[in-house]
Structure 1
Amino acid sequence: MRINIAICDDEQKSLQMIQKELYHIADKLKIEIETYAYKEGKKVLDLIYNEKEDFDVLFLDIDMPDVSGLEVAKKLRQKHLDIILIFISAYEQYVFESIEYNPFRYIRKNRIEKELMPCLKAAYQRLEEMQDSYMIVKTGEAEVRVKHSDIMYFETSARKIGIHLKNGEVLFVRKTIKELYEELNDEHFIKIHSGCVANAKYIGKYSNHDITLDNGEHLIVSRTRIKSVKIALMNYWGNQV
């Protein structure tokens, strides 16, 4: 597995040093990596946010002049992108503020030689775990590899299950809700009524009768499941802080 790594730092010297260290560490760990260096937060945000590039890991300097690393992180998290986010800074006072954006690690520039190796090793392990979070969906004669995190929800539809993806595509499979739910075996998926299961990742709001997804779509919650849905959502949101 090769890791695509983006590094964003407005200081050229710092960029070169981080790149050099990453390749040195990757060689020691026998990990294949490809790095891409950027000096502007706006540039890296455009590439990742608009899906022009597919990076696995982003090393992000916090203190940058055009767009701060925290602003970049905020935009990425608003879009629910799964990129592994690692903050790099010469200033430790940003640690608590950065927690809001659920970073994977926070590395201090003056200790980068010590902290970078365990960080890259842990990121690689996380990516290996994330690779397993896929399922093969058979739709007619085709087989589609679908990432769990791309599924917004799935529901019964004319004796089939419609799997609604974040890109707007709907895949239809001949399974039952129970079969697909058990096949996923993913705690992020919440059964909201007997014929529908939603991914907590995309739920932005709930009421006593429905949930609202990030795309504005409303899904009905059965009365018997209101309490369990609320508890599952509060637990999920609590873990994201």
Structure 2
Amino acid sequence: MKEIRAALCDDEKAILSYVGNEIEKKFDNEHISFNLSRYSSPERLAKKIHNGEKYDIYFMDIDMPGINGLALASEIRETDNSAVIIFISAKEEYVFDTFRVNSYRFIRKMNFENDLQEAVTSFLSSHHCSSQSNIITLRAQNELIRFNADEVLYIEAQDKYLNIVMTEKNLLIRYKMSDIETLLNGYDFIRIHKSYLVNCKYIYIIKGKDVQLDTGIHLPISRYRAGEVSKQFMLYMSEHSGVLSEDQY
């Protein structure tokens, strides 16, 4: 399942930190791949938007200096009618104004926990987001095998078998690498070697002919695949980067 990219904007850094952590917890509890960029300056988020940056969800305060949340939402709507906009505010008198920008929810700060849970649950349900959408089912040796693609670190070909190395366990199945590569197309896996298929989510660094995973495991990159591997990983990083730049704070 594609990672959900979200932006949170609140000019008060303490609230930005607390609300951001709570939002991340809600999605993490649902085992959803989720990336949240935090902005304490609405102007900086507006600049990102003007430069072509897009998010699936925007969480934002309304009463902010410079550009308020309603004006910022209007700017978002100039180029993106499909993004989900969720306001988080203590000023409930603004709730009807948010309808003008087709907001998805209005989270009251006085009822933050309950409103946030309802908003996240509703979003995941209406957008058919579930960890179940990452479940891969295949038939090997007359047996149905099910596993979560998001939990796979890498897959190694061992003669006529595949060793599927996961976060909590390994699966050894009789299956072709080419077939499972096709099955996992769209799940952010890179073929780095004739014997290795790697989940980009767990790559820590690519250096020369070596891939290091977050777990410390090193895997080889074949010489003729090196250029394409770097290109695919850079593309993945550009779409999923969780690095906070100075523009975001």
Which TM-score applies when normalising by structure 2? 0.55
The one-letter code of the counterpart of 1:116 is Y
Within 2, Cα distance between the matches of 1:147 and 1:163?
A: 11
Give, as a single letter, the amino acid of the residue that structure 2 aligns with 1:200.
C
* Offset of residue 190 of structure 1: 0.5
* Contact 1:154–1:162 (8 Å) recurs in 2: yes
Describe the shift of the 1:105–1:66 C-alpha distance in structure 2 as closer, same or farther (beyond 3 A).
Answer: closer
For structure 1, the residue ranges without an aligned partner over 5 or more in a row are 1-55
Shift of the 216–116 alpha-carbon distance from structure 1 to 2, 3 Å rule, reads: same
The 3 A distance-change label for structure 1 pair 177 and 76 is farther
Task: Give 1:185 shift.
Answer: 2.1
- Alignment partner of 1:164: what SS? strand
Q: Does 1:181 align with 2:160?
A: no
Shift of 1:150: 1.2
Structure-2 residue corresponding to 1:104: 57
Q: Which amino acid aligns with 2:166?
A: L
Report the equivalent of 1:235.
Answer: 235
Per-residue displacement from partner, 1:25-54 (whole Å, max 9, x unpaired)?
Answer: xxxxxxxxxxxxxxxxxxxxxxxxxxxxxx
Does the 8 Å CA contact 1:161/1:173 hold for their aligned counterparts?
yes
Could you tell me how far 1:230 is from its partner in structure 2?
Answer: 0.2
The alignment status of 1:172 with 2:172, answered yes or no, reads yes
C-alpha distance in structure 2 between counterparts of 1:149 and 1:177, whole Å:
18
Percentage of matched positions with identical amino acids: 19
**Counterpart Cα distance in 2 of 1:199 and 1:85:** 17
Is 1:188–1:201's contact at 8 Å kept on the other side of the alignment? yes
In structure 2, stretches of 5+ residues that fail to align are 60-85, 107-118, 242-249
Q: Which residue of 2 aligns with 1:124?
A: 125
**Cα distance, 1:139–1:213 mapped onto 2, change above 3 Å:** same
Decide whether aligned partners of structure 1 residues 143 and 231 sit closer, same or farther in structure 2, where only a CA change above 3 A counts: same
Rg larger in structure:
2
Q: CA deviation at 1:127?
A: 3.3
**TM-superposed deviation, 1:223:** 0.6
Per the alignment, residue 244 of structure 2 pairs with: none
- 8 A Cα contact 2:32 2:131, kept in partner: no
In the aligned structure 2, how far is the partner of 1:225 from the partner of 1:181? 15
What SS does structure 2 have at the residue aligned with 1:127? Answer: coil
Q: Indicate the residue corresponding to 1:149 in structure 2.
A: 150
Q: Cα gap change, 1:198/1:83 in structure 2, threshold over 3 Å: closer, same or farther?
A: closer
Matches within 5 A, 1:54-73: 64=14, 68-70=18-20
